Amino acid sequence: MTGDFAIETYGLEKIYRSRWSAREIRAVSSVSLRVPAGVKYGLLGANGAGKTTFVKLLLTAVHPTQGEAKLFGRDAREPEARRPVGYLPENHRFPTYLTGYGMLDFYGALSGVEARERKRRIPEFLELVGLKDWAEVRIKKYSKGMLQRLGLAQALLHRPKLLILDEPTDGVDPVGRREIRRVLDGLKEQGVTVFINSHLLSEVESFCEYVAILRSGRVAVEGKISNLLAGRGYRVTASDVPAAALADIRQSGASILPADEGVTIQVTTREEANVVIDKIRAAGGEIESVAASTSSLEDLFMKTAHPDKAA
Amino acid sequence: MRTLIALVADTFQEARARWLFWGLFALSTLLILIFLFVLQIDLAAGAITFLGIETTTRRIYSIQKFVNVSYSWVSIALYVWGTFLAVFASAGLIPSVLEAGRIALLLSKPLRRTSLLLGRYVGNMLIVSLNHIYLVLGVWIILGLKTHIWAPRFLLAIPVSIFLFAVLLSVVVLVGVVSESAALSVMAPVGLSLISVLLAQHKLVIRLLGSEWSRQLWMFFYWILPKVFDLGTAMRQAILFDRHAVWLAPIWTSAAFGIIVLAGALHIFQKRDF
């Protein structure tokens, strides 16, 4: 059922065209992703890989050139589809003339929270992010870390089912990071889907269950981190594997990465590796190698996002 | 409705924080005080003496006429002053909301893009309308107290100025959405108003123009652009009880211009990437 996914995109594409010349920039290219509801999902990629554009496409700040995006099964272009979404943008600019309380009140109203409910929730959320004593201070006096925490409170105030965070700890000191992490950890029990767009690999590795790595606007790798990460499984490299067989293998929970010889399939157990090998051979594919894998998310990221710099 | 109220309230808060709200009211207060001072030096009595109005019957009639003429010109002054001041004050309020990092968050909320822009438009309109009411009422009360002649028609300056501002604000919104420049958002409506004053001289100009196409071009622009001059003239004539005041054409052509420009701004805003 389509509602089981917090985010679904089908062939999502964004091409920026220059107004005065024929120059085109393909920021996002045929991205098809499915983020199951209730999971912590990380989106990784080098600078300019298309991460922020992808998030903006989800929230309709940017219109797709092609493809579609859905939030909890609803077309993302419908305003109601965004009601269960909390968002903390990268490089946000909150109105500096507002106080912390005023800012939460304004964005809470826009998110559809009733006035009486806002009055009750705002002190609660200010306390949650450690800004209770700053409620009546204009936010132009807030530090970067405080602004991030306030932004997080803003994103959570209407109790969203999906939280989209674009570089949530960017520019935040270690103490602020720990505060944000504490708040996010608290969401795990509430079943909130968290979609983090970040370039901090350790953050994604420790918090997320799923990850996708974008390279030049395309999904280069996608899957469960436990499957993708080495040291916990086996890596089967194969060539000439038909697309239908790959789809079948992916459906069984294995992660598939592009490789020089064809594809590399990452699985967790020896039994899964045997099943994958059987499927590949049954489909007429060639097994190039089978090995126990030992890489980290950083290795995976370097290999995927920066193949030229990978060791 | 909750969304619209929040957006309007935010526009008020921003105008207050940027001192635009208080600046507008301070300048209006200054103008009211200037009127108070001018009337303190008994300008009306001086003018009556200067005009040599002597006999009682004629004097009453002439004072009435003099006050009406004064009211009509004061209304024009307020119309020009209030409208242009309002345009200057409003110009930054559209580009500010389009700043990267601010607009992305606003667009992530469950609201339509049209609501977002219209919220700003309505907020601006309310701020300026309050200021116009304060300014015109203030001057009217001072003139009335001083001359003991209460000319309710003078209050026409309120709806006419607000109407003109609504039209010019649509230009501010369009230019703001396209260029995100506060400076350009001021220049466009002010420039348009000056051109409109020039185009309004069509009766004289078409006699001077040599070719038919240039005359038609002049009239074409005259009809499609807002009638800043004609609206002011009609207001002045109405205050003078002049039956020849022409309201209909200036109102509907200006309203049509404002609606089309605002619809264009909304359309562009809908299509834009942020």
Cβ neighbors of A180 (< 8 A, separation 6 or more) are A148, A149, A152, A168, A169, A172
Between CA B247 and CA B243 the distance in angstroms is 11
Cβ contact B108–A61 (<8 Å): yes
Residues of B in contact with A94 (CB under 8 A): 102, 105
Cβ contact B108–A92 (<8 Å): no
Q: Which residues of chain A have pLDDT under 70?
A: 1-3, 230-232, 294-295, 307-311
**Residue B61 confidence (pLDDT):** 60
B270 at the A interface (CB within 8 A)? Answer: no
| Alpha helix positions (H), A219-284 | 225-228, 243-251, 270-282
Q: What DSSP line would sit under A177-197, residue for residue?
A: HHHHHHHHHHHGGGT-EEEEE
**Residue A118 confidence (pLDDT):** 95
Please state the domain extents for chain A.
2-212, 230-294
- Sign of the C-alpha dihedral computed for residues B11, B12, B17 and B22 taken in this order: positive
What is the pLDDT tens value at each position of chain B, 274 positions in all? 778 899 999 998 898 888 888 888 999 899 888 888 877 665 556 665 665 555 555 555 666 777 778 788 888 988 898 888 889 888 888 888 998 889 999 999 999 999 999 999 999 999 999 999 999 999 899 888 877 888 888 899 999 999 999 999 999 999 999 999 999 999 999 999 999 999 999 988 888 888 889 999 999 999 999 999 999 999 988 988 888 888 899 999 999 999 999 999 999 999 999 9
Q: What is the ipTM of this complex?
A: 0.81
A62 at the B interface (CB within 8 A)? Answer: yes
Q: Which among A62, A95, A109 has the least Cβ separation from residue B273? A: A62
- Compute CA B122 distance to the chain's CA centroid, rounded to the nearest angstrom: 15
Mutate to test the interface with B, among A80, A92, A110, A144 (most CBs of B within 10 A): A110
**Residue A1 confidence (pLDDT):** 44
Q: Which among B14, B17, B274 has the least Cβ separation from residue A61? A: B274
**Residue A188 confidence (pLDDT):** 75
**Residue B262 confidence (pLDDT):** 97
Mutate to test the interface with A, among B4, B18, B105 (most CBs of A within 10 A): B105
CB B168 within 8 Å of CB B82: no
Cβ contact B100–A106 (<8 Å): no
Q: Which among B104, B110, B112 has the least Cβ separation from residue A61? A: B104
Cβ contact A109–B273 (<8 Å): no
A161 at the B interface (CB within 8 A)? Answer: no
Is CATH 3.40.50.300 the right assignment for the domain spanning A2-212?
yes
The pLDDT > 90 percentage for chain B reads 52
Cβ contact B109–A80 (<8 Å): no
Residues of B in contact with A81 (CB under 8 A): 110
Other Cβ atoms less than 10 A from the Cβ of A205: the count is 18
Between CA A175 and CA A166 the distance in angstroms is 19
**Residue A185 confidence (pLDDT):** 84
- Sign of the C-alpha dihedral computed for residues A198, A201, A202 and A205 taken in this order: positive
Mutate to test the interface with A, among B5, B93, B108, B271 (most CBs of A within 10 A): B108
Count of domains for chain B: 1
3-state secondary structure of A288: strand
**Residue B208 confidence (pLDDT):** 86
**A23-47 pLDDT, tens digit each:** 888 999 999 999 999 999 999 988 8
A95 at the B interface (CB within 8 A)? Answer: yes
Q: What range defines the domain where residue B120 resides? A: 2-271
The backbone torsions φ and ψ at residue B266, rounded to the nearest 5 degrees and listed phi first, read: -65, -40
- Pairing status of strand A210-215 against strand A40-45: parallel
**Residue B50 confidence (pLDDT):** 60
Nearest Cα to Cα of residue B209 among B199, B218, B220: B218
Hey, what CATH topology would domain A230-294 get?
Alpha-Beta Plaits (3.30.70)
